């Protein structure tokens, strides 16, 4: 029998090698067709007396499988949504049945009577590892390419194909819960230590080792299917269980504030599933999985952090008619913290980079930043010395602009000073080929204004990184009025080359991300001035889903920078553009108390020497009369943070600064961690509904100020019942296909 996605070769010893190698895909993924073929393969292996057992491996280099495909999840939701309006109960039943399809195939595999071994040669994520767990043996290649994980919680769901039941039956419950609730990657050695992998062998011996397990008499029965099976580490109701479960529940609440139904469902599945027979446990898991799939959080996170993120990473906004760029050489002007970080990520992508500064010492210091990052990576076991040597050999620190000759792209990362940027632009362009693109990493100055310094504004664009560059995954690509499709394509090709996610933004002061972030911090200023206790402000933000409180974030970005931005805004746009109370607060912090933020060890927080922890500045609460904490509506504090940011995102859409809702959502999560469980700023509004959102925003406006005034776009949407994903449909081709 032949298959589209698998090949089967049986050797002289009667051991079948099942190789998963999907045509026209760089990585194997689960689709409906793949599941159907795997189901048939299990029948074929089980029904062939000449076959002793089977080894499942991948034909892809350094990759076993990335898990479920978008199309399979989308089909599941489409069927559910189509049926929901006709027969809600039937819709839920269909969702339940579809949610269990993968789990049923895996259970069939492990009970078919023939031993199966998974030979893991590379990335093994989600459903792929759940397939491996259903195999009776697991062998992993001893290579950095092998990354084992059940990361579903990061996209709003959980391991629903047996993962929540097999992992805690193979390893202790504490490690199992930590692995699944964090979605952490495991190296082969760690997976083996946890009991999730049986052997770790050199890559060249992977298949032989897997076959040997079968040849040596591997039992075709899982431990939990044998009589007398005992859980590793003890039962739920035991001394060890008493230590694990109260702490696990407390940690879940502390880390998630119960905003993530998928994370909570993992604890429920494990807790309930370990107390019943295995087949019953799989039904428990299936029920919770179907339940979580129906939540607003799962739908929003799956769309933004799975579907949209992949689409943007693959170049959804890239002009199709422009030839892709293979970068031979990149220039970075400005070797400060940002420029040095840009040089690092460029060299890490294998691209030679010229790092320019006014003084050779400064340029050398910029390269040293890369050396420091690689040193830390080596210490953590994430890189070898050869990797560091190779990366550093790609960075050329210099003061000579002539070294930019031959660059495909030059990124300017100097101070936020229009005069300095003008001089840098002119010097760089004098040494560039005609087709080269020049980009500014500015965070505040409009690109159209900076492009006036260029002799070729069509090739001028903004590429805005976030700090620290090596860790932050988002890049804003900003279009000036004259920026060409060619420049946009080059910028997106570069962002893709350095493995970051781009969003495309039209020109405005603050672009998209900074406008939202400034609203977040400004609302914290409002709360301080109202007399809300500082600790309550920070806790409300974090409990609303933000990773960092607004006061701590302001310390990181620097309070004196906030002062400069307020002054610049005042000069450019007049007194009505700023709140004088905010100016007074920032001036008091910077000028009176010398509190600039983390960089000088004192801001809204104090930063004592380690091992002491940072803590809120005790005198902060003395700046304004304090309200009685018991009289404050804490839920409303949380709501204010989410609403003020989401409203700014809606204004940005209304102004045409961002035109694709996928970019607004993904950008808000990756850039400043806007409550990921919401799916992002616009998904948050869509989830509530425009009419209800506008009504609540007007209540907040009446109580707290014009920052909560809904923009015209939102009020129009409230009247028509529109959503952002309906009004700004990112898939017009699908709409046309449906019409046809």
Q: List the structure tokens of 209.
A: 């080792």
- Known active-site residue 596: no
| pLDDT tens track for 97-155 | 988 999 999 999 999 999 999 999 999 999 999 999 999 999 999 998 999 999 999 99
Q: In the chain, what is the straight-line distance between the N-terminal and C-terminal CA atoms, in Å?
A: 38
pLDDT at 81: 81
Place of tokens 């609403």: 643
CA 120/CA 65 separation, integer angstroms: 9
Residue 593: pLDDT over 80? yes
Inform me whether the pLDDT recorded for 79 exceeds 50. Answer: yes
Averaged pLDDT score across all residues of the chain: 94
Distance of alpha carbon 254 from alpha carbon 248, whole angstroms:
10
pLDDT in tens, 704-730: 999 999 999 999 999 999 999 999 999
The closest of 115, 111, 108 to 220, measured between CA atoms, is 115
Q: b/e per residue, 474-503, with b = 16+ CB within 10 A?
A: bbbbbbbebbbebbbbbbbbbbbbbebbbb
| pTM, full prediction | 0.91
Question: How high is the pLDDT of residue 733?
Answer: 59
pLDDT at 568: 80
The two structure tokens encoding residue 613: 């922890």
Residue carrying the six token digits 């309906």:
726
Encode 13-22: b = buried (16+ Cβ within 10 Å), e = exposed.
eebbbbbbeb
Token pair belonging to 520:
């977040």
Residues 6 or more apart whose CB falls under 8 angstroms from that of 282 comprise 100, 103, 107, 162, 165, 273
* DSSP bridge pairs for 201: 141
Query: What SS3 state is found at 505?
Result: strand
The pair of structure tokens assigned to 85 is 């309006």
Cis peptide before 331 (omega within 30 of 0): no
Q: What is the CA radius of gyration of the chain?
A: 28
Closest C-alpha to 417, from 334, 522, 332:
334
The answer to whether the bond into 92 is cis (omega within 30° of 0) is: no
Nearest CA-CA partner of 179 in 152, 149, 156: 149
pLDDT at 516: 95
Task: Round to whole Å and give the CA distance between 246 and 267.
Answer: 11
Helices (H), 111-260: 127-134, 163-170, 173-182, 188-193, 206-215, 239-256
Euclidean distance between CA atoms 504 and 476, whole angstroms: 6
* Residue 73: per-residue pLDDT: 76
User: What percent of the chain has pLDDT above 90?
Assistant: 86
Whether the pLDDT of residue 734 is over 70: the answer is no
The DSSP symbol for 68 reads B
Residues 6 or more apart whose Cβ sits within 8 Å of residue 656: 506
Which distant-in-sequence residues (6+ apart) come within 8 Å of 17 by Cβ? 8, 9, 10, 11, 54, 55, 57, 207, 211
Average pLDDT over residues 52-70: 93
Tell me if 396 sits within 8 A of 403, measured CB to CB: yes
Closest-CA residue to 170 (of 194, 147, 143): 194
| Residue 455, both tokens | 């002799």
Overall average pLDDT of the 216-223 stretch: 96
As a whole number, mean pLDDT of residues 364-388 equals: 94
Rounded average pLDDT over 343-365: 97
Neighbouring CB atoms inside 10 A of 373's CB total: 22
**pLDDT tens-digit map of 634-668:** 999 999 999 999 999 999 999 999 999 999 999 99
Look at residue 737 in the predicted model and tell me its pLDDT: 38
Annotated catalytic residue, options 464, 582, 596, 615: 464
- The pLDDT of residue 739: 37
- Spell out the residues 6+ positions from residue 117 whose beta carbon is closer than 8 angstroms to its own: 53, 54, 55, 56, 135, 136, 137, 138, 139, 210, 211, 213, 214, 218
Pairing of strands 15-20, 395-398: unpaired
CA within 13 Å, CB half, 324: 9
What DSSP character marks residue 98?
A: H
Length of the chain: 740
CA 658 to each of CA 458, 507, 606, 666, 670: distance values in angstroms, whole numbers, following the listed order: 20, 9, 37, 12, 16
Cα 653 from Cα 197, distance rounded (Å): 49
Taking 90 as the threshold, does the pLDDT of residue 521 lie above it?
yes
pLDDT at 738: 41
Residue 561 clears pLDDT 90, i.e. is over it: no
Q: Tokens in use for 181?
A: 């609730």
pLDDT of residue 340 exceeding 60, the answer is yes
Dmax (CA) of the chain: 85
CA 571 to chain centroid: 37
For residue 172, CA distances in Å to 187, 231, 238, 241, 272 come to: 18, 8, 13, 10, 16
Q: What are phi and psi of 309, to 5 degrees?
A: -60, -45
526-to-179, 424, 637 alpha-carbon distances in Å: 40, 39, 11
Centre a 10 Å sphere on the Cβ of residue 424 and count the other Cβ atoms it contains. Answer: 24
CB atoms within 10 A of CB 410: 25
94 pLDDT above the threshold of 50: yes
Dump pLDDT digits (tens) for 391-415: 999 999 999 999 999 999 999 999 8
Answer for the pair 709, 697: CB distance below 8 angstroms, yes or no.
Answer: yes
290 neighbors 96 (Cβ within 8 angstroms):
yes
CA distance 188 to 288: 30
Domains of the chain and any CATH numbers: 6-294 (3.90.226.10), 330-506 (3.40.50.720), 514-591+624-726 (1.10.1040.50)
Q: What percent of the chain has pLDDT over 70?
A: 99
Q: Is the pLDDT of residue 444 over 80?
A: no
Tens of pLDDT, residue by residue over 526-540, are 999 999 999 999 999
Residue 75 has pLDDT above 80, yes or no: no
């Amino acid at each position: 029998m032949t298959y589209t996605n698998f090949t089967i070769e049986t050797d002289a010893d009667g051991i079948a090698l099942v190789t998963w190698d999907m045509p026209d895909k760089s990585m194997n993924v689960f689709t409906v067709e793949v599941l159907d073929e795997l189901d048939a393969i299990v029948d074929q292996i089980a029904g062939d007396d000449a076959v002793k057992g089977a080894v499942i491996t991948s034909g892809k280099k350094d990759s076993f499988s990335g898990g479920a495909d978008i199309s399979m999840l989308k089909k599941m939701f489409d069927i559910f949504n189509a049926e929901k309006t006709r027969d809600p109960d039937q819709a839920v039943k269909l969702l339940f049945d579809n949610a269990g399809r993968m789990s049923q195939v895996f259970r069939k595999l492990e009970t078919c009577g023939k031993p199966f071994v998974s030979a893991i040669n590379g990335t093994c994520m989600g459903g792929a590892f759940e397939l491996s767990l259903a195999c009776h043996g697991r062998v992993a290649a001893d290579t950095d390419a092998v990354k084992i994980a059940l990361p579903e919680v990061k996209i709003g769901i959980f391991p629903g194909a047996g993962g929540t039941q097999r992992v805690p039956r193979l390893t202790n419950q504490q490690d199992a819960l930590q692995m699944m609730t964090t979605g952490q990657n495991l190296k082969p050695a760690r997976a083996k230590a946890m009991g999730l992998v049986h052997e770790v062998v050199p890559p060249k011996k992977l298949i032989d080792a897997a076959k040997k397990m079968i040849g040596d008499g591997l039992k075709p029965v899982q431990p939990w299917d044998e009589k007398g099976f005992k859980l590793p580490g003890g039962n739920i109701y035991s001394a060890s269980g008493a230590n694990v479960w109260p702490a696990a529940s407390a940690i879940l609440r502390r880390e998630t504030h119960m905003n993530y139904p998928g994370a909570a469902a993992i604890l429920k599945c494990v807790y309930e599933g370990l107390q019943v027979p295995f087949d019953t446990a799989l039904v428990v898991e299936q029920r919770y999985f179907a339940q979580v799939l129906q939540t607003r959080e799962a739908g929003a996170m799956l769309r933004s952090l799975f579907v949209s993120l992949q689409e943007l990473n693959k170049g959804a906004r890239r002009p199709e008619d422009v030839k892709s760029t293979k970068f031979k050489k990149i220039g970075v002007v400005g070797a400060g913290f940002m420029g040095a970080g840009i040089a690092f990520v460029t060299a890490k992508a294998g691209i030679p980079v010229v790092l320019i500064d006014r003084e050779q010492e400064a340029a050398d210091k910029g390269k040293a930043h890369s050396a420091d990052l690689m040193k830390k990576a080596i210490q953590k076991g994430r890189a070898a010395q050869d990797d560091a040597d190779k990366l550093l050999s790609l960075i050329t620190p210099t003061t000579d602009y002539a070294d930019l000759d031959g660059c495909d792209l030059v990124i300017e990362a100097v101070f936020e000073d229009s005069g300095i940027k003008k001089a840098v632009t002119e010097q760089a362009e004098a040494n560039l080929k005609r087709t080269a693109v020049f980009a500014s990493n500015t965070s505040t100055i409009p690109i159209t204004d900076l492009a006036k310094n260029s002799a070729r504004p069509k090739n001028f664009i903004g590429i805005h990184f976030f700090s620290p560059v090596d860790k932050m995954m988002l890049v804003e690509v900003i279009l000036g009025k004259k920026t060409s499709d060619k420049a946009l394509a080059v910028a997106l090709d570069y962002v893709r080359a350095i493995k970051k996610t781009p969003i495309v933004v039209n020109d405005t002061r603050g672009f998209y991300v900074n406008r939202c972030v400034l609203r977040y911090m400004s609302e914290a200023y409002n709360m301080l001035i109202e007399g809300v206790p500082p600790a309550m402000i920070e806790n409300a933000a974090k409990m609303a889903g933000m990773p960092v409180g607004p006061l701590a974030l302001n310390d990181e970005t620097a309070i004196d920078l906030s002062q400069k931005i307020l002054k610049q805004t005042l000069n450019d746009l007049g007194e009505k553009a700023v709140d004088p109370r905010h100016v007074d607060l920032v001036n008091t912090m910077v000028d009176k108390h010398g509190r600039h933020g983390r960089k000088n060890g004192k801001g809204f927080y104090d930063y004592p020497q380690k091992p002491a922890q940072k803590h809120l500045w005790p005198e902060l609460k003395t700046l304004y009369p304090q309200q009685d904490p018991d009289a404050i509506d804490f839920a409303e504090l949380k709501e204010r943070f989410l609403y003020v940011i989401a409203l700014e995102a809606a204004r940005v859409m209304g102004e045409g600064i961002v035109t694709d809702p996928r970019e607004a959502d993904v950008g808000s999560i990756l850039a400043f961690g806007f409550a990921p469980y919401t799916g992002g700023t616009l998904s948050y509004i869509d989830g509530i509904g425009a009419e209800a959102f506008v009504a609540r925003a007007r209540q907040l406006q009446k109580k707290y100020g014009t920052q909560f005034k809904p923009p015209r776009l939102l009020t129009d949407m409230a009247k028509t019942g529109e959503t952002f994903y309906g009004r700004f449909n990112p898939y017009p081709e699908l709409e046309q296909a449906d019409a046809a």
